[in-house]
């Protein structure tokens, strides 16, 4: 799925001319040719890409987006690098850890021949920008790139979870093959030691090197038995795929569940979640692109950060079914998913 | 014009009383205005804050400010609820009015000074003064931490005078009455206090005149041992004596003169 | 009541002033408070309605999402910030069907339930008076069957507490009014009664011993004036009779041929002359008297005007922005104070010479022009540069006026009563300082900085008008008697006297440094940062002159009685220095309390040491005082002291960037303390071998 670039609405151009401050900020102060941005995606056009694009039209910044999707195929990426260089675009946008690593190169392994170096780049949806060796720290990349992070820090997640219901024992089902989940357990335990809660983690069964989804309900029951008061759902690809099984099991066990990702709450039956929406992350990435393109800020001077505001999502049918109601203040901040009644 | 002592002192006291009364009244009024307008402003801040929350919740969902059509109804509802509200406006960071309770104002530009608070602060409420209206406003911040615009609420600047004119008028009258009453007391009391001084001086003058004209003695107050009046009595006596002596001497010289 | 003594009359008049000034203000304030409280209720209602609507909307949202009313979670935490942000709202509560109180904050559930039970049913608008509160009830939910209500409670007493701040303002205004009343009454009594009566008494005392050479002067139209005129008419008449007798005798003596008659006439003349004295000049001499108190009211008003800006000058300077000539923001705030002191220093070096040529009255009036003009233009200053120039101008004027007053008082009082005369000066300056500092803050808060400066200039103008009207133009002027000689260069030899130098450098200079650096400069900044209002800053800063006023009366007596002047000076310095270290105290004091403590310590310090310090000067350099004249030596002391005033704010401003406001106080305090410790050590040596250095110097 490859979309050709298109021009952001002409309305944006007139808005630019009318806008006092934007005009002042633009050095040329003239309606200029659109900025050309090369968007390299990993699995098609989704919310982050949409947020990125919408930001420019909302701000009235004319851009020409050249959109390429590698459809989870790493081998296409060298072609993208070559094409971006050949087109001489103003900025490159990379989606996901794989695309970002392959196109921009990791620290110490940047090759001007294979990677994009002269063109400024912004990345999005890289879960561990430091861990993935994209940047030495979040304050500055030290090179011609910047980006956004999208994972909610564990402490924020835990605070949110405990503001809903301060349970003494937190349960967690995880995929032992996924490194992110193991990191999450460590982080949770550390926070638990500081804040006074314990964590029970149940790994899903692995058969022939592959996790098995069928065992999930049993694991959840096991956690409930052990006294867990809340189920923590980590941002884990396997669990994301099997989110219906997992969240339904929690509901059956009358166990409230918290998800660190959007899907289990929005499209399944997790009770609530605290996430940075991909759309918002896309907008924030575009904001950084604006700093580079319009305000001429060098990418190395732009810190890598996450959106300021967390999206708290409440799945009301699940809340009602469990009878575990959110505190008023949390409710006031939350976005609510409502729908027909469900039964555990 | 000659001013008696009592008149001087009572004038000083009355002037002081008036100044004090006036100053207190002015301070009292300003304080009252302060408290009342902070109460009113806090109410409007609250209204503005609820609108801000409403808008930012929607911005958080990824909508652009200018797309939030429901906000127009929300601000119109707030205006209907409070007849003191002159208007509520939401404008973007470039100063274009996006929503306005006065729908005719949509699309116009706000004065440049309305944009200043957006650059200085990001979360603090601000207040501005329009021609005859006061404004409270709050910046609208999107999820990226960027100021997208602001919501302002306008309310009449002179509400205090209008609402409480009668009350203030009555209080002013009461104050004047109290000041007048106490001015009279001040005058009467200072006449009473200084009258005795005047009387004693007058008494001494009369004694002086009498003794010099008719002879006799000045009778000092026996309680005034060694005081001014005793010394004055001696003075009167001495003066009389001197005058007598001089006139006797004159007579003597005259006699001598004639003798020859 | 004695007619030529002012005290009994003054006391009575002052009691009258209190009785007349305090009750009307108190009564009307009390009425007004009640009226204001009632006047605010409609606004309170509206506020409660707005808050209630918002709370109700959120509760409704929860209920609409299917959360049962009694199953709401975290209501307390939900109410808490609302109550905190809206202090006039005393409680928030949610009641269920049948009025059962489900949640409440700010009031106990049982109390509210009790009130609700007893209360009359709410009107259509949902308002009811329950117990001490006004309660607004808003129904929850459009859907039938919920039957819940959100209650918003507020009480009228809140307005009272908010308006309570005004109490302090009224007290300040009243106290200042009473002080002004005291000054004015004192002036009226001295100028119109005591002064003329003293003259009358002097004349009467001469005349009762047969001396008719003098008549009292003065031409006021009141009873005293009338009495004085009668008195002088009587004396003049006796004088005329004497003169006509003498003329007659002369005529007889020159014209008469009979020698015995001439002799007899001569004897008569001799006898009269022997018994009575009459003026030699042909008419009785008019005696007038300069009273030190005559200048007191103008001086009071003038210092009042200057002190108005005291408590907020650095804050005012800050309003002009923070960039000028590459100086730091702190330095810019300090410069107006510093430059005022520079102005004073410059002008006071030639004020003495000017007075010798022009007289005190003209110098006073001349000095008023830059001073009052400076205040007036300060109100319209547009940049920090202009402000600084105007402060120099005001400083020049201030020095001329105050030196003129000092000279006037010194001339008006005879040598033995110098202390009394000095008391008049210090008294006027201290009371003016109390009034000015306190009122300046209150005024600035209400009418703004600029208007306060305009008021200052008006006060100064009134002071000038008084001097212009009341002080005789003719009678002063002429050179001061030149006591001692010696030019400026030889005066510097004074510093060879180590006692003198120690007194100056380690006692006088640090005292002024602490005063200007801390009280004038740092105090307003710290208190402002701590969130105090201008009247509160004024009320805190006023502690200094109040403590000073109380203590200086005690300490001058103490130092005279104990003869332990250097000890008092040393003790004062140590207390002042230690006081500035209060930020280091681990008492957990909030900033305003700490600053107040330090100010009190400074007041004690200067109250203890100020007059002994002056008295100590002749002690430590007796010989120099003889050779140069005490006036010159004291002038040198004042000039050197002013360098302390100048560097105080500069040091403080230089410390702020490195150590912060509190740190600057501590470091300044350490400097003061270190210098004071040196002085203390020196003072131990003061007693031994007096004046040796000076005597050697004389050889």
Q: What is the pLDDT of residues A295-328, one digit of tens each?
A: 999 999 999 988 877 888 999 999 999 989 999 8
CB contact under 8 A, B245 and C276: yes
C419/C253 Cα distance (integer angstroms): 54
In this model, does residue C70 exceed pLDDT 70? yes
For residue A280, give the 3-state DSSP assignment.
helix
In this model, does residue A224 exceed pLDDT 60? yes
Report how far apart, in Å, the C-alpha atoms of C514 and of each of C242, C645, C667 are. Answer: 66, 8, 11
* Alpha carbon of C89: minimum distance to chain A alpha carbons (Å): 19
B87/B75 Cα distance (integer angstroms): 9
CB contact under 8 A, A283 and B95: no
In this model, does residue C699 exceed pLDDT 50? no
Q: Could you tell me the sign of the dihedral formed by the alpha carbons of C673, C674, C677, C683, in that order?
A: negative
CATH H superfamily, domain C485-699? MFS general substrate transporter like domains (1.20.1250.20)
In this model, does residue B9 exceed pLDDT 70? yes
Strand partners, A337: A315
Same domain as A190, residue A322: yes
* Nearest chain B residue (CA) to C269: B249
Strand partners, C285: C214
Element (H, E) at B87: strand B87-92
* Alpha carbon of C59: minimum distance to chain B alpha carbons (Å): 14
Q: Which two tokens stand for residue C130?
A: 């329950």
Same domain as A172, residue A43: no
Predicted local confidence at residue A119, as pLDDT: 92
In this model, does residue A84 exceed pLDDT 80? yes
Q: What is the pLDDT of residues A323-338, one digit of tens each?
A: 899 998 888 888 888 8
Q: Could you tell me the sign of the dihedral formed by the alpha carbons of C653, C656, C657, C658, in that order?
A: positive
Same domain as A258, residue A189: yes
| Among C61, C67, C60, C76, CA closest to C140 | C60
- C positions 209-268 inside 8 Å of B (CB): 209-210, 212, 220-227, 230-231, 234-235, 237-238, 241-242, 244-245, 248-249, 252, 256-258, 261, 264-265, 268
C603/C519 Cα distance (integer angstroms): 10
For residue A156, give the 3-state DSSP assignment.
helix
Chain C interface, best mutation among B249, B251, B252, B260, by max C CB count within 10 A: B249
Average pLDDT value over all residues in chain C: 80
Residue B75 lies in a domain: yes
Residue B170 lies in a domain: no
| Among C298, C329, C251, CA closest to C429 | C298
Residue A203 lies in a domain: yes
In this model, does residue A25 exceed pLDDT 50? no
Mean per-residue pLDDT for C606-632? 75
Cβ contacts of B60 on chain A, cutoff 8 Å: 280, 309, 311, 335
Q: What is the pLDDT of residues C276-327, one digit of tens each?
A: 888 777 777 777 777 777 888 888 999 999 888 888 888 888 887 766 667 7
Q: What is the pLDDT of residues C478-519, one digit of tens each?
A: 444 444 444 555 666 777 777 788 888 888 888 888 888 888
Same domain as A136, residue A45: yes
Mean per-residue pLDDT for B3-22? 84
Element (H, E) at C89: strand C89-95
Task: Quote the domain boundaries for residue A180.
Answer: 154-275+310-337
Strand partners, C150: C94, C138
* Nearest chain A residue (CA) to B66: A58
Same domain as A283, residue A173: no
Residues in chain C: 699
Same domain as A255, residue A160: yes
In this structure, the number of other CB atoms found within 10 A of the CB of residue C203 comes to 25
* Nearest chain A residue (CA) to B116: A21
Same domain as B235, residue B149: no
Half-sphere exposure of C547 (CA within 13 A, CB side): 23
Same domain as B121, residue B18: yes
In this model, does residue C104 exceed pLDDT 80? yes
CATH domain C292-481 topology = Growth Hormone; Chain: A; (1.20.1250)
Same domain as A316, residue A209: yes
C529/C339 Cα distance (integer angstroms): 24
* Alpha carbon of C230: minimum distance to chain B alpha carbons (Å): 7
C27 in contact with chain B, both atoms CB, cutoff 8 A: yes
Q: Report whether CATH 3.30.450 matches the domain C12-163.
A: yes
In this model, does residue A341 exceed pLDDT 80? no
Residue B206 lies in a domain: no
Closest CB to C73: pick one of A316, A328, A332: A328
Instruction: Write the CB contacts of B223 (distance below 8 Å, at least 6 apart in sequence).
Output: none
Residue B44 lies in a domain: yes
Predicted local confidence at residue C559, as pLDDT: 66
Q: What is the pLDDT of residues A107-133, one digit of tens each?
A: 888 888 889 999 999 999 888 888 888
- C positions 41-70 inside 8 Å of B (CB): 42-44, 46-47, 50-51, 53-54
Q: Which two tokens stand for residue C609?
A: 């040491």
| Among C269, C239, C235, C238, CA closest to C254 | C269
Residue B178 lies in a domain: no
Predicted local confidence at residue C232, as pLDDT: 83
Strand partners, A274: A312
Contact C394, C374 (CB under 8 A): yes
Of A35-39, C357-361, C472-476, least confident by mean pLDDT is C472-476
B137/B90 Cα distance (integer angstroms): 9
Same domain as B230, residue B138: no
Cβ contacts of C59 on chain A, cutoff 8 Å: 328
* Alpha carbon of C219: minimum distance to chain B alpha carbons (Å): 11
Residue B252 lies in a domain: yes
Closest CB to B46: pick one of C13, C19, C51: C51
Alpha helices in C281-417 (DSSP H): 296-307, 313-318, 329-358, 360-378, 384-412
* Nearest chain A residue (CA) to B119: A21
What is the tally of structural domains in chain B? 2
C398/C388 Cα distance (integer angstroms): 15
Same domain as A23, residue A69: yes
Contact C123, C113 (CB under 8 A): no
C627/B240 Cα distance (integer angstroms): 53
Maximum mean pLDDT: which of B55-59, C204-208, C595-599: C595-599
CB contact under 8 A, C74 and A329: yes
Interface residues of B toward A, Cβ cutoff 8 Å, are 53, 56-57, 60-62, 64, 66, 93-96, 115, 141, 143-146
The residue out of B105, B139, B164 marking a domain boundary is B164
For a pLDDT cut of 70, what percent of chain A falls above it?
90
Same domain as B113, residue B48: yes
Half-sphere exposure of C104 (CA within 13 A, CB side): 21
| Among B220, B191, B20, CA closest to C12 | B191
Strand partners, B96: B109
Same domain as A244, residue A216: yes
Closest CB to C169: pick one of B21, B27, B245: B27
- A positions 294-333 inside 8 Å of C (CB): 316, 319-320, 323, 325-332
A220/B192 Cα distance (integer angstroms): 99
What is the tally of structural domains in chain A? 2
In this model, does residue A206 exceed pLDDT 70? yes
Same domain as B149, residue B36: yes
**Count of A–C CB contacts within 8 Å?**
42
Q: Could you tell me the sign of the dihedral formed by the alpha carbons of A152, A158, A163, A164, in that order?
A: positive
| Among B133, B137, B140, B98, CA closest to B114 | B137
CB contact under 8 A, B60 and A311: yes
- A positions 247-286 inside 8 Å of B (CB): 277, 279-280, 283-284
The residue out of B164, B182, B204 marking a domain boundary is B164
C32/A274 Cα distance (integer angstroms): 54
Give the distance, in angstroms, between the CA of residue B172 and the centroid of all CA atoms in the same chain: 12
Conformation bin of residue C141: beta by default, left when phi > 0, alpha when psi is -120 to 50: left
Strand partners, A92: A38, A121
The residue out of B102, B129, B164 marking a domain boundary is B164
Q: Which two tokens stand for residue C76?
A: 């307390």
C414 in contact with chain B, both atoms CB, cutoff 8 A: no
CB contact under 8 A, C50 and B47: yes
For residue C568, give the 3-state DSSP assignment.
helix
Same domain as A325, residue A198: yes
A46 in contact with chain B, both atoms CB, cutoff 8 A: no
Contact C135, C54 (CB under 8 A): no
Task: Quote the domain boundaries for residue B41.
Answer: 5-164
C652/C620 Cα distance (integer angstroms): 31
| Among C460, C461, C459, C441, CA closest to C449 | C441
Contact C427, C321 (CB under 8 A): no
Q: What is the pLDDT of residues B31-89, one digit of tens each?
A: 788 788 888 888 888 889 888 888 888 887 777 788 788 888 888 888 888 888 888 99
Closest CB to B30: pick one of C222, C241, C446: C446
Predicted local confidence at residue B218, as pLDDT: 64
- According to DSSP, the β-strands at A311-315 and B87-92 are unpaired
CB contact under 8 A, C252 and B256: yes
Spatial strand order in the sheet of C133-140: C101-105, C89-95, C148-154, C133-140, C127-130
Alpha helices in B93-227 (DSSP H): 116-120, 159-214
C540/C534 Cα distance (integer angstroms): 10
| Among C145, C150, C186, CA closest to C55 | C150
CB contact under 8 A, A280 and B95: no
Q: What is the pLDDT of residues C395-422, one digit of tens each?
A: 998 888 888 888 888 777 765 566 667 7
In this model, does residue C21 exceed pLDDT 90? no
Residue B203 lies in a domain: no
Instruction: Write the CB contacts of C123 (distance below 8 Å, at least 6 apart in sequence).
Output: none
Same domain as B155, residue B229: no
DSSP assignment of C200-247: HHHHHHHHTTTB-SEEE----SSHHHHHHHHHHHHHHHHHHHHHHHHH
B61 in contact with chain C, both atoms CB, cutoff 8 A: no
Report how far apart, in Å, the C-alpha atoms of C520 and of each of C523, C524, C530 are. Answer: 6, 7, 16
Q: What is the pLDDT of residues B156-187, one digit of tens each?
A: 877 666 767 777 788 888 888 888 998 898 88
Closest CB to B93: pick one of A21, A51, A335: A21
Report the CATH number that the domain containing residue A124 is assigned in CATH. 3.40.50.2300
Residue A328 lies in a domain: yes
Same domain as B146, residue B45: yes
Contact A65, A53 (CB under 8 A): yes
Instruction: Write the CB contacts of C356 (distance below 8 Å, at least 6 apart in sequence).
Output: C478, C479, C480
Predicted local confidence at residue C688, as pLDDT: 45
C306/C396 Cα distance (integer angstroms): 12
Half-sphere exposure of A303 (CA within 13 A, CB side): 5
Report the CATH number that the domain containing residue B77 is assigned in CATH. 3.30.450.20
Contact C438, C542 (CB under 8 A): yes
């Amino acid at each position: 799925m490859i979309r050709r670039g298109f021009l952001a609405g002409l309305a944006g151009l007139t808005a630019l001319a009318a806008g006092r401050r934007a005009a002042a900020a633009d050095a040329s102060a003239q309606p200029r040719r659109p900025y050309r941005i090369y968007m390299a995606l990993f699995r098609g056009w989704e919310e982050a890409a949409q947020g990125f694009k919408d930001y420019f039209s909302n701000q009235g910044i004319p851009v020409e987006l050249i959109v390429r999707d590698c459809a989870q195929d790493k081998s296409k990426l060298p072609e993208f690098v070559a094409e971006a260089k050949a087109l001489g675009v103003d900025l490159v946008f990379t989606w996901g850890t794989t695309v970002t690593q392959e196109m921009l190169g990791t620290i110490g392994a940047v090759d001007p021949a294979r990677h994009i170096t002269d063109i400024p780049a912004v990345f999005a949806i890289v879960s561990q920008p430091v861990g993935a060796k994209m940047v030495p720290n979040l304050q500055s990349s030290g090179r011609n790139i910047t980006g956004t992070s999208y994972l909610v820090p564990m402490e924020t997640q835990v605070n949110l979870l405990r503001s809903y219901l301060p349970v003494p024992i937190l349960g967690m089902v995880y995929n032992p093959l996924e490194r992110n989940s193991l990191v999450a357990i460590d982080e949770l335990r550390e926070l638990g030691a500081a804040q006074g809660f314990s964590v029970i983690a149940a790994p899903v069964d692995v058969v022939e090197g592959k996790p098995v989804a069928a065992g999930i309900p049993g694991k959840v029951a096991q956690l409930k038995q052990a006294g867990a008061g809340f189920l923590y759902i980590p941002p884990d690809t396997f669990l994301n795929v099997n989110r219906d099984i997992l969240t339904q099991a929690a509901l059956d066990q009358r166990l409230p569940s918290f998800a660190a990702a959007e899907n289990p709450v929005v499209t399944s039956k997790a009770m609530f979640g605290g996430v940075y929406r991909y759309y918002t992350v896309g907008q924030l990435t575009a904001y950084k692109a604006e700093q580079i393109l319009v305000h001429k800020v060098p990418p190395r001077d732009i810190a890598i950060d996450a959106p300021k505001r967390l999206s708290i999502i409440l799945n009301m049918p699940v809340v009602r079914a469990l009878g575990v109601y959110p505190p008023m203040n949390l409710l006031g901040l939350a976005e609510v998913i409502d729908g027909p009644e469900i039964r555990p | 014009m000659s001013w008696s002592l009592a008149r001087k002192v009572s004038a000083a006291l009355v002037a002081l009383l008036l100044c004090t009364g006036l100053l207190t009244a002015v301070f009292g009024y300003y304080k009252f205005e302060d408290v009342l307008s902070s109460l009113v402003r806090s109410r409007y801040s609250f209204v503005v804050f609820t609108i801000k929350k409403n808008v930012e919740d929607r911005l958080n969902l990824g909508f652009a400010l200018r797309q939030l059509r429901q906000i127009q109804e929300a601000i119109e509802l707030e205006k209907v609820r409070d007849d003191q509200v002159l208007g509520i406006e939401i404008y973007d960071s470039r100063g274009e009015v996006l929503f306005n309770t006065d729908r005719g104002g949509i699309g116009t530009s706000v004065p440049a000074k309305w944009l200043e608070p957006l650059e200085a602060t990001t979360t603090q409420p601000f207040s501005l003064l329009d021609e005859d209206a006061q404004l409270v406003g709050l910046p609208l911040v999107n999820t990226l931490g960027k100021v997208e615009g602001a919501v302002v609420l306008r309310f009449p600047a002179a509400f205090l005078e209008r609402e409480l004119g009668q009350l203030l008028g009555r209080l002013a009258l009461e104050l004047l009455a109290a000041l007048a009453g106490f001015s009279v007391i001040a005058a009467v009391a200072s006449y009473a206090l200084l009258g005795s001084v005047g009387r004693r001086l007058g008494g001494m003058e009369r004694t002086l005149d009498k003794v010099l004209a008719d002879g006799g003695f000045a009778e000092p107050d026996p309680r005034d041992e060694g005081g001014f009046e005793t010394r004055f009595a001696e003075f009167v006596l001495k003066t009389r004596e001197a005058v007598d002596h001089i006139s006797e001497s004159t007579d003597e010289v005259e006699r001598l003169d004639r003798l020859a | 009541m004695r007619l030529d003594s002012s005290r009994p009359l003054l006391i009575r008049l002052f009691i009258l002033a209190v009785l007349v000034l305090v009750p009307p203000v108190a009564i009307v304030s009390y009425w007004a408070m009640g009226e204001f409280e009632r006047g605010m209720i409609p606004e309170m209602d509206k506020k409660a309605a707005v808050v209630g609507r918002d709370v109700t909307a959120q509760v409704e949202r929860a209920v609409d999402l299917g959360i049962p009313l009694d199953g709401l979670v975290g209501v307390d935490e939900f109410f808490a910030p609302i109550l905190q942000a809206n202090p006039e709202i005393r409680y928030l509560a949610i009641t269920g069907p049948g009025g059962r109180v489900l949640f409440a904050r700010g009031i106990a559930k049982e109390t509210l339930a009790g009130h609700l039970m007893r209360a009359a049913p709410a009107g259509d608008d949902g308002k009811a008076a329950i117990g001490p509160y006004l309660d607004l009830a808003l129904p929850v939910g459009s859907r039938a069957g919920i039957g819940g209500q959100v209650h918003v409670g507020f009480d009228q007493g809140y307005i009272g507490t908010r308006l309570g701040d005004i109490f302090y303002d009224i007290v300040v205004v009243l106290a200042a009014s009473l002080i002004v009343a005291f000054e004015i009454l004192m002036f009226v009594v001295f100028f119109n009664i005591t002064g003329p009566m003293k003259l009358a008494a002097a004349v009467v005392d001469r005349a009762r011993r047969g001396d008719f050479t003098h008549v009292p002067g003065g031409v006021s139209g009141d009873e005293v004036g009338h009495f004085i005129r009668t008195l002088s008419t009587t004396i003049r008449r006796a004088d005329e009779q004497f003169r006509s007798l003498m003329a007659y005798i002369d005529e007889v003596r020159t014209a008469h041929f009979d020698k015995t008659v001439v002799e007899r006439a001569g004897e008569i003349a001799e006898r009269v002359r022997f018994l009575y004295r009459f003026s030699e000049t042909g008419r009785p001499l008019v005696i007038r008297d300069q009273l030190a108190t005559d200048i007191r009211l103008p001086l009071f008003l003038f210092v009042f005007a200057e002190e108005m800006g005291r408590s907020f000058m650095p804050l005012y300077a800050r309003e002009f922005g923070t960039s000028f000539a590459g100086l730091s923001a702190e330095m810019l705030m300090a410069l107006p104070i510093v430059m005022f002191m520079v102005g004073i220093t410059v002008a006071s070096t030639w004020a003495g010479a000017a007075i010798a040529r022009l007289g005190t009255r003209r110098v006073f009036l001349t000095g008023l022009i830059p001073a009052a003009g400076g205040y007036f233009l300060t109100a319209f200053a547009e940049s920090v540069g202009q402000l600084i120039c105007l402060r120099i101008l005001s400083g020049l004027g201030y020095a001329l006026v105050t030196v003129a007053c000092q000279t006037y008082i010194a001339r008006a009082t005879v040598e033995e009563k110098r202390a009394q005369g000095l008391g008049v000066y210090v008294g006027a300056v201290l009371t003016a300082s109390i009034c000015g500092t306190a009122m300046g803050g209150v005024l600035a808060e209400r009418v703004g900085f600029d208007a306060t400066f305009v008021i200052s200039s008006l006060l100064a103008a009134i002071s000038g008008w008084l001097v212009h009207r009341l002080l005789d133009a003719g009678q002063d002027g002429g050179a001061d008697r030149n006591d001692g000689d010696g030019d400026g260069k030889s005066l510097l030899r004074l510093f060879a006297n180590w006692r003198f130098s120690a007194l100056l450098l380690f006692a006088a200079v640090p005292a002024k440094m602490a005063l200007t650096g801390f009280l004038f400069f740092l105090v307003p900044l710290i208190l402002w940062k701590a969130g105090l209002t201008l009247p509160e800053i004024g009320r805190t800063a006023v502690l200094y002159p109040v403590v000073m006023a109380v203590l200086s009366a005690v300490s001058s007596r103490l130092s005279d009685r104990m003869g332990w002047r250097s000890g008092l000076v040393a003790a004062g310095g140590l207390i002042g220095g230690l006081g500035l270290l209060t930020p280091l105290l681990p008492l957990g004091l909030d900033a305003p309390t700490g600053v107040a403590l330090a100010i009190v310590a400074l007041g004690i310090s200067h109250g203890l040491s100020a007059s002994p310090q002056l008295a100590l000067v002749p002690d430590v350099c007796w010989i120099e005082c003889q050779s140069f004249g005490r006036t010159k030596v004291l002038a040198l002391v004042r000039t050197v002291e002013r360098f302390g005033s100048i560097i105080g704010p500069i040091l403080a401003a230089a410390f702020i960037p490195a150590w912060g406001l509190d740190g600057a106080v501590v470091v300044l305090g350490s400097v003061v303390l270190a210098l004071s410790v040196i002085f203390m050590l020196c003072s131990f040596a003061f007693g031994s071998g007096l004046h040796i250095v000076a005597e050697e110097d004389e050889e």
